[in-house]
Amino acid sequence: MLDLRPRMLSIGTANPPDRWSQADLLNRFQVNDPKIVSLFSSSHILSRHLYLPPGKPEGGPEEETQGDLLRKHRRGTIEVAPQAIERCLAPVGLTVRDIDYLCCITSTGWLTPGVTAILMKHMGFREDCSRVDIVGMGCNAGLNGLNPVASWAMANPGKNALMVCNEICSAAYVFDGSMRTAIVNSLFGDGVAAVLVRADERDERSFAPKILGFDSHIITPAIDAMRFDWDEEQGKYSFFLDRDIPYVVGANAEKPVNRLLNRHGLKRRHISHWIVHSGGKKVVDAIKYNIGLTDHAVRHTHSVLRDFGNLSSGSFLFSFKRLLEEGKVRRGDYGVLMTMGPGSTIETALIRW
């Protein structure tokens, strides 16, 4: 009897056209505060793709209202998401007309109708395509979304499910000269990632990995460690990251990993590939230390952070794509996917080629 578990058949990614180094951004925003300059310089990020506001004649960027930021999110969605979707579907010979279920994830803009409806109209998805929007869960949400997408695919054999992580993080930026906003502004980048999921006996000879299971862990005492607040003075939402996040996440990282592996009779030595969310150097270091991973194990996590910054919910798919392009995965290999975010939350998934 065939084991028709869903497979991750193809991945596509895309970013805005403008790429900025950390030094470029400091110059663009005329930052001279030594603490903020040091923060940008020591973030282990070399460049990011961002939608930045036009410059003023006297220098520096124009102010953006909350309305401007929402319009930026919608504009970026329409420009970048179709590229990621087409890059995901083209290698397997599909178009958006072949998609039966669409799940879109974002935490960087509040749109109603949501991203699914906007993309269905803009790209020409079938009108009977089922859809769901997951909004506001944060950087962990890629695996929160993949779980129901995989379940839908398993309940609908042969049908095509598409998950899109659509994060225009620059639509959540506030520039007020504070260390609070500087931490966010030094870390996040704009990008979209799409993954095609299907459970079909036609794919049994495919090299695409099967999704074997998930495990979640929420650290409720740290619920306020990552959050959006309304900034009355600025008149827009402002994201907050607590400095203790790496220690909170690291101290709890083993719990979902151990449960996930124990459920499938595995030990950490059986895992050939680790795809960890590019949350920031200190977060990744805390995960490495507490789970016992080498630098090599998280090489793609580090390289995505270096080249793109933290891409929120889609970061792990950017890293996963680099793993596939590397060409070192072998049939039978196990992999663990891990994302972290607000809640505070750790999400994990087990896959096998």
* DSSP E strands, 115-202: 130-135, 161-168, 190-198
Give the position of tokens 């669409």: 102
pTM assigned to the model: 0.95
Count of C-beta atoms within a 10 Å radius of residue 54: 7
Average pLDDT, the chain: 94
User: Which amino acid is present at 243?
Assistant: R
What distance in Å separates the CA atoms of residue 294 and residue 300, rounded to the nearest whole number? 12
Q: Are strands 101-106 and 130-135 parallel, antiparallel or unpaired?
A: parallel
pLDDT, position 230: 87
pLDDT, position 2: 62
| pLDDT for residue 1 is more than 70 | no
What distance in Å separates the CA atoms of residue 211 and residue 145, rounded to the nearest whole number? 13
139 a catalytic residue: yes
Facing residues of 347 across strands? 216, 339
Burial 252-285 (b: 16+ CB within 10 A, else e): bbbebbeebbeeeebeeeebbbbbbbbbbbbbbb
Q: Are 309 and 219 in contact (CB under 8 A)?
A: no
Mean pLDDT of 6-19: 98
In CATH terms, 7-203 corresponds, of 3.40.47.10, 3.20.20.80, 3.50.50.100, 1.10.760.10, to 3.40.47.10
pLDDT, position 325: 97
DSSP class per residue in 170-183: GGG---SS-HHHHH
pLDDT, position 134: 97
Count of C-beta atoms within a 10 Å radius of residue 200: 18
Query: 29 vs 341, which has greater pLDDT?
Result: 341
The catalytically annotated residue of 104, 139, 165, 169 is 139
* DSSP E strands, 3-128: 7-14, 19-21, 47-49, 101-106
Residue 228 binned pLDDT confidence (cut-offs 50, 70, 90): confident
User: Given its phi and psi angles, is residue 82 left (phi above 0), alpha (psi -120 to 50 degrees) or beta?
Assistant: alpha
Helix 245-252 with 254-263: angle, nearest 10 deg? 30
Q: What is the largest CA-CA distance in the chain?
A: 70
DSSP class per residue in 238-294: EEEE-TTHHHHHHHHTHHHHHHHHHHTT--GGGEEEEEE----HHHHHHHHHHHT--
User: Which amino acid is present at 112?
Assistant: T
Tens digit of pLDDT for each residue in 58-97? 666 788 999 999 999 999 999 999 999 999 999 999 999 9
Mean pLDDT of 216-230: 93
pLDDT, position 232: 86
Q: Are strands 271-276 and 334-341 parallel, antiparallel or unpaired?
A: parallel
Tens digit of pLDDT for each residue in 278-290? 999 999 999 999 9
Residue 126 binned pLDDT confidence (cut-offs 50, 70, 90): very high
pLDDT, position 59: 65
pLDDT, position 137: 95
DSSP class per residue in 51-69: --PPBPTTSSBPP--HHHH
Residue 300 binned pLDDT confidence (cut-offs 50, 70, 90): very high
Q: Which of 131-140, 191-200, 219-228, 234-243 has the lowest mean pLDDT?
A: 234-243
Give the position of tokens 């592996």: 261
pLDDT, position 180: 86
Facing residues of 239 across strands? 228
Q: pLDDT exceeding 70 applies to what percent of the chain?
A: 98
pLDDT, position 60: 67
Q: Are 189 and 336 in contact (CB under 8 A)?
A: no
Architecture (CATH level 2) of domain 210-352:
3-Layer(aba) Sandwich (3.40)
Whole-Å CA distances, 135 to 29, 204, 254, 342: 29, 33, 27, 12
DSSP annotation of 158 reads T
Tens digit of pLDDT for each residue in 18-54? 999 999 999 888 888 999 999 898 779 999 999 998 8
pLDDT, position 231: 85
**Where in the chain do CATH 3.40.47.10 domains reside?**
7-203, 210-352
